[in-house]
Amino acid sequence: MTSLSESLVNMSQRENLKQKFVDDEIRSEKRKQMFALLTAIREAKPDCLSDETDETRNRLERLENLIESLAD
């Protein structure tokens, strides 16, 4: 009976490790996408500096901060 119990525990541990791996991969992919978006925003900012208003600048900064916080 002990071996059956140990087998169930081992199966459960393996499933937990698989799920953790999948979750880590998903987080990693999301982080990559957020940093790509952040990079695109930062690269686009110089193009709009000539007609950028304080309001636009503040919105871009808030968006950058939001993306950075989501990536953590």
Sequence-ordered list of residues with C-beta below 8 angstroms from that of 41, at least 6 positions apart, any chain: 60, 63, 64, 67
User: What ranges in 45-53 are assigned the alpha helix state H?
Assistant: none
Q: How many CA atoms lie within 13 A of 57 on its CB side?
A: 7
Domain boundaries along the sequence of the chain:
2-71
pLDDT by residue (tens digit) across 14-72? 999 999 999 999 988 888 888 888 888 777 766 555 556 777 778 778 888 887 787 66
Note the pLDDT of residue 34: 83
- How many Å from the N-terminal Cα to the C-terminal Cα in the chain? 45
